Amino acid sequence: MPWREICPMEERARFIVECVRGELSMTALCRKYGISRKTAYKWWDRFETEGTVRLADRSRACHSHPNATAPEVVTLLIAVRKRHPSWGARKLLAWLAERYPGLRLPAPSTAGDVLTRHGLVRRRRPRVQAAPYTEPFVACDGPNVVWCADFKGGFTLGNGGRCHPLTISDAHSRYLLRCEALTWIDDPRVRPIFESAFREFGLPHAMRTDNGPPFATVAPGGLSRLAIWWLKLGIRPERIAPGHPQQNGRHERLHRTLKAETTRPPAGTLRAQQRLFDRFRRVYNDERPHEALGQKPPATVYTASARRYPVPLREPEYPDTMLVRSVHTNGTLKWRGAAPYVGTTLAGERVGLEELGQGRWRLYFAELPLGIIEGDRFRRESARVQDRLTARGETRRQGKVSPMCPV
């Protein structure tokens, strides 16, 4: 015989039906259903006042709670979230705490629940995270030690024109130094933007970029005219490995926020898009709390560099053990009756040659190894050899090449 399942709602409904019939007394009904007279009269009173719909169990939750989020806080959270749709609960609370010191704010999880209840949170599909990857880059342990530069992907404006945003940020403080809308990616358009940033904020010690133009080329050492200019200013170019944007992850994360707040939808003209970038840069630097900075805006952490611009361009200095040559305008080098081609990017620049023996010489520009000259032919160094030799030059400043960075 199967077990009999008893539903409380069905039992209460049967009890009410028998009460209405009046065939049994209340005492007999209580004995039949195994309940007390107090419980019986409670359900009978609910039926008489509210009907059968109230026979279900009522919630035992408090009608009010002393620790509940105040309505004015909920209103502020919703208003700030609508103003900054890409800000999370922690940033919203940090922003409110700075402007309303006496306000009692909830925990980030509670604030997130408030945003979810009001339909202000969109669930994202979880992504598979790559394992951490590190390179022997300069440590970002202070402002202006490393600046990051990159182009956020180009997009089409409302009038059909193209926009290529150039962004420059300080790696330590996340301060957005420049966000400029350009119509094309080339050295003549990019260099004035870097020069204006150098005049306003001073010079960094290193500049971290990807391997695309105008930051790098297919010339020996990946040098571009922009990178040569940086080297002469005492700035060390750093390039991430191809296909590894996570090595410049903090700048890539900036691009995600920039895209969400300024390009959806894009402006109608380049000038209008630049106004969106300027407003974003002001809010990002001065108002938006950053979790990596203890929920402080980047402007509270960043300070200008002590290495002021302009400075005279310093030609590379090479030790006495190296031979120094100048590259011709056609990219060749006069070398012992031969003219090995080393690239037009280095035209007019002084390079150094280190003897390796057996008629082989290693070619340098500043501390950067470019390749091997053997006889009348030039062969580029592999990226792995370049990294090893550059690291050796960094640890042994008195070695092959004198440092260009001014003290």
Q: How far apart are CA 233 and CA 99, in angstroms?
A: 42
For residues 231 and 354, membership in a common domain is answered with no
Instruction: Verify that 386 and 348 share a domain, yes or no.
Output: yes
3-state SS class at 339: coil
Per-residue confidence (pLDDT) for residue 4, from 0 to 100:
59
Angstrom distance (rounded) from CA 59 to CA 150:
56
**pLDDT value for 383:** 56
Q: Are 345 and 333 in contact (CB under 8 A)?
A: no
Has residue 208 been placed in a domain? Answer: yes
Q: Are residues 358 and 253 in the same domain?
A: no
Q: Give pLDDT, residue 387.
A: 56
pLDDT of residue 135: 47
User: Are 294 and 379 within one domain?
Assistant: no
Q: What distance in Å separates the CA atoms of residue 404 and residue 203, rounded to the nearest whole number?
A: 14
What is the number of domains present in the chain?
Answer: 4
- φ, ψ of residue 17 to 5 degrees: the values are -60, -45
Q: State whether 98 and 218 are in the same domain.
A: no
Question: In this structure, are 195 and 276 located in the same domain?
Answer: yes
How many Å separate Cα 108 from the centre of its chain?
21
Do 186 and 212 sit in the same domain of this protein?
yes
Q: Where are the beta strands (DSSP E) in 160-256?
A: 162-170, 176-182, 206-209, 236-239
Supply the range of the domain harboring residue 20.
Answer: 8-55
Domain contains 311: no
Same domain membership, residue 75 and residue 51:
no
Question: pLDDT tens, position by position, for the chain (407 residues)?
Answer: 465 566 777 777 788 888 888 788 888 888 888 888 888 888 788 777 776 656 666 677 777 777 788 889 999 999 999 998 889 899 999 999 999 988 889 999 999 999 998 888 887 776 544 333 334 566 778 899 999 999 988 999 999 999 999 999 999 999 999 999 999 998 999 999 999 999 999 999 999 998 888 998 888 888 899 999 999 999 999 888 887 888 888 899 999 999 999 998 999 999 999 999 999 999 999 999 998 889 999 999 999 999 999 888 888 889 999 999 999 999 998 888 888 998 899 999 999 999 998 889 999 998 888 889 988 888 887 655 555 555 555 433 333 333 343 33
Each as own residue / partner, the long-range contacts of residues 68-76 (CB below 8 Å, 24 or more positions apart, any chain) are 69/106, 69/110, 69/114, 70/104, 72/103, 73/103, 73/104, 73/105, 73/106, 74/114, 76/100, 76/103
What is the CATH classification number for the domain harbouring 197? Answer: 3.30.420.10
* Residue 63 covered by a domain: no
Say if 364 falls within a structural domain.
yes
Beta-strand pair 155-156/146-151: unpaired
Burial class (CB in 10 A: 0-12, 13-18, 19+), 284: buried
Q: What is the pLDDT of residue 179?
A: 96
Structure confidence at residue 305 (pLDDT): 95
Instruction: Identify whether 305 is part of a domain.
Output: no
Both 49 and 163 in one domain: the answer is: no
49 and 80 Cβ atoms separated by less than 8 Å: no
DSSP assignment of 303-314 equals ---SS-S--PPP
Amino acid at residue number 320:
D
Q: Is 283 within a domain?
A: yes
pLDDT of res. 137: 63
Residues 159, 144 contacting (CB under 8 angstroms): no
